[in-house]
Amino acid sequence: MTVGAEVTLHRPAKPGRAHGPWSVEAIQVLLDKPLMDLVYQAQTVHREQFPEGDIELATLLSVKTGGCPENCGYCPQSAEFDTGVKAQKLMEVDEVLRAAKAAQDAGATRFCMGAAWRAPKDRDVEKVAELIEAVKGLGLQTCATLGMLEPHQAQALKSAGLDYYNHNLDTAPEYYTDVVQTRQYQDRLDTLAAVRAAGINVCCGGIVGMGEEPVHRAGLIAQLANLEPYPESVPINSLVRVPGTPLADSEPIDAFEFVRMIAVARITMPRARVRLSAGRQQLGEAVQALCFMAGANSIFYGDKLLVTGNPDVEADVQLLRKLGLQARRTQQQLEEPCA
């Protein structure tokens, strides 16, 4: 295809299904468009699908930190890397419940629980199910990221009331072994299939700024957009370079290239919540504003993302206010009388 050529968009046959198949070449054409044209196209798609223009606030808590046997080159929780992160046990229900209530009081509508496991044991899933039931009781949407799952484990999480399961593809399949050697790309896809089969919504995205080439970024979007159906939530992370990890010296991604990733995620997955995730702290307000214009409508909200920093709550409140954006509210919040 010629750079700058128009890509015809076809509406999905039913909500949540892919336009696809999206070729890597077609996505690269989108990524190469003049930035203002690309953002305009993404904003047009965004307004068609999300006319209310709200921003989803999600909070992520590490319920079991450190000691992971995987060697993901970006992750400070790997037991192979000396990053100062100490292994901890799974948090108790009352601790998690306090954190979830605090997140809800701060405006979050989704509460995500992350555990540093390669793959949980059945007894681990039973304990996490208790956490899910407790958080669900507050009226929050629940999300978990626990590593690779077997089909029966996904079913158990569904029975506990889990709304979303996060399992990122990280990057394009051909670059994957440059980042992770302790598992295969197909392992990720198998877990996503188990989650889908259990009837749980999928939260799946990737990380940019890991030394990948532009074609790998296009390849990542192609993998996500061609999932059947594509994910309901798509977190786009900018690598947080943590000392002690193999990717600590990676060259940061250009801010406008990050905006392009947000825009193309919106165009290729029009009904998904596209989330600004890790690395948002380094973007600054102006770039975040461009990302919202390009179709981002979800953020991780709170002081930490697992073990790395995140803009604090008050800064986010002020930013949304400056931009005239409204936080998404749950039905329960909508029904509550104003104070």
The catalytic residue positions are 68, 72, 75, 112, 143, 203, 275
Of 141, 137, 139, whose CA–CA distance to 111 is shortest? 141
Task: Give 168's contacts (C-beta < 8 A, 6+ positions apart).
Answer: 188, 204, 205, 206, 207, 235, 237
Phi/psi for 161 (5° steps) reads 105, 15
Of 116, 122, 140, 138, whose CA–CA distance to 57 is shortest? 140
DSSP per-residue codes, 212-264: --HHHHHHHHHHHHTSSSPPSEEEEEEP---TTSTTTTPPPPPHHHHHHHHHH
Do the beta carbons of residue 300 and residue 58 sit within 8 Å? yes
Do the beta carbons of residue 157 and residue 200 sit within 8 Å? yes
